[in-house]
Structure 1
Amino acid sequence: MRWFLLILLILPAPALAVDCSEVPHGGNTYSVCEVDLTKDDLQLFLKDPEGKIIGHFYRLEELLEERTLPFAMNAGMYHPDRAPVGHFIENGQEVMRIIPNAGPGNFGMLPNGVLCIRSKRADVIETLRYADEKPSCQYATQSGPMLVIDGKRHNSFLPDSTFRNIRNGVGTSKDGKRAIFAISDNSVTFYEFASLFLEHFELENALYFDGRISRLHAPQLERSDVGVQMGPIIGVVD
């Protein structure tokens, strides 16, 4: 028994599934969760088995039963009935087709993009490129605008903009193994938010999810935001 206890004491503690932290950048602060796609099970969620919108982090945790939810975030814009505005794939099933054309609001500020989740990788892909390449995604969510496109900030973002909001989004590494999810802790401009992914994390592609309704579930940060019912939710299932 003594040897067994000694082995337990010297074994390394299991690594956390998701690494979440507070990140300062450019005079603003962000809550950031980094997902390792080679290890973490990243999924998109919309409806429960009965066809009802999940809508809340606590409801998703209930559905997971004995599994845990170390990270979750709202993941794309939605209509009043919580249906996705753009392309959405859940567990291999297409719920909403791709929307390639410009339109009103932030979603239609082209170029917009798609977060595509495949086996052991996730990629933010500009919408027209996505439509042309037709990647086989297990999960996908379309949103807009793109924050960073091929290593360049969206050309509509102005450094002297005064339009500030709480914002959240995602950026992915070139090899698809790393996804950085961020939500601003204070109101930021699009230009500032894009700079977090481009300059601090040096990611070549990043996608905006939403503004005022942005929410994060991160037990590591002792945070699980509440509010009105959401549409698409992205999260890691442990």
Structure 2
Amino acid sequence: MDFLTVLYSAPLLLSLFKAALPYAVATTAAFGQWFASVPPCRDVSFEATSFLVCEVDPKLYSIELFWKDPAGKPFQSLHNLDNAQRMAGRTMLFAINAGMYHPDLRPVGLYVERGQEMAGVKTGSGSGNFSLQPNGIFYMSRGKAVVRATKDFVRQRPATDYATQSGPMLVIDGQLHPKFQADGTSRKSRDGVGVRKDGVAVFAISNGTVTFHAFARLFRDALGCDNALFLDGTISSLLAPAIGRNDDYWNLGPMIGVFRKRGG
């Protein structure tokens, strides 16, 4: 290309660049918005079962519990919760169902939201997974995530910003729940939460079916959690639109939502 060709082509190139610039800016902005909504989740394979695992450092992310909307009506689904957060101008990175509940969607055991206790601790006997002792409580206290067996929680009764009780415990101080059997045959979709020694909360949901024993070993042996709690079974759900995860079970009770902190 000679000098005159370059000279006469320059205005055309400049014009094309100016025309393309808004699209480039819009694309960059859209990518930035998408990237900001990507959750800290990854696929994990453990003993031929696939899991989605989300590792949440409370220093970088806000972990909150939700049950009812401002009008006092249960959110009922992760999608409803996500829509409500969007309307409030918040970007929820992911949400997961957060424990067991009655047919009217009331939490079965302890439930604390924004420091307000909305359902009390349940320590009596009963049937089902919730009452397979020891059960436990996942809670947030002064920016720290904790999983603790219910009896230990009640003994010390720490101040909590958020708390949900469920059961059974999967891992207690590095030991598997004593009633789990390695040859157990009950396989279901399951989700749960554990906390590592560094304070990171680890949420996991199976993409297929898994036994309690294998699910507990996932938390202890693969995810490094000395304490972990089962949250729910057959209707285990996780919503993370940025990575294409859009579980849509309805009539859910308590839910956990995770948000990126400013500067996180």
TM-score, normalised with respect to structure 1: 0.91
Which of 146, 154, 164 is the equivalent residue of 2:169? 146
| Distance (Å, rounded) in 1 between the aligned partners of 2:143 and 2:67 | 21
**Offset of 1:15 from its aligned partner?**
6.9
| Distance (Å, rounded) in 2 between the aligned partners of 1:220 and 1:196 | 25
Contact 1:18 / 1:40 at 8 angstroms: preserved in 2? no
**Offset of 1:18 from its aligned partner?**
3.4
* 2:225 counterpart residue number: 203
Give a deviation string over 1:122-143, Cα, whole Å, max 9, x none: 1001000000111111000000
* 2:97 counterpart residue number: 74
**Offset of 1:39 from its aligned partner?**
1.2
User: Structure 1 residues 148, 60: CA separation in 2 closer, same or farther (over 3 Å shift)?
Assistant: same
The residue type equivalent to 1:25 in the other structure is F
Which of 35, 40, 47 is the equivalent residue of 1:26? 47
Give a deviation string over 1:145-177, Cα, whole Å, max 9, x none: 0000000000110111111000000001234x3
Contact 1:171 / 1:197 at 8 angstroms: preserved in 2? yes
Is residue 180 of structure 1 aligned with residue 202 of structure 2? yes
The DSSP-based 3-state class of the residue aligned with 2:216 is: helix
Which of 54, 62, 84 is the equivalent residue of 1:63? 84
Is residue 100 of structure 1 aligned with residue 161 of structure 2? no
Contact 2:38 / 2:243 at 8 angstroms: preserved in 1? no
**Offset of 1:60 from its aligned partner?**
1.1
Is residue 38 of structure 1 aligned with residue 59 of structure 2? yes
Unaligned stretches of 5+ residues in structure 2: 1-27
* 2:244 counterpart residue number: 222
Over the aligned positions, Cα root-mean-square deviation in angstroms equals: 1.7
Structure 1 runs of 4+ with >3 Å offset:
13-18
**Offset of 1:229 from its aligned partner?**
1.5
**Offset of 1:16 from its aligned partner?**
6.5
Q: Mean Cα displacement is larger for which, 206-215 or 18-27?
A: 18-27
Identity %: 44
| Distance (Å, rounded) in 2 between the aligned partners of 1:15 and 1:154 | 38
| Distance (Å, rounded) in 2 between the aligned partners of 1:35 and 1:101 | 32
The residue type equivalent to 2:49 in the other structure is N
| Distance (Å, rounded) in 1 between the aligned partners of 2:230 and 2:201 | 13
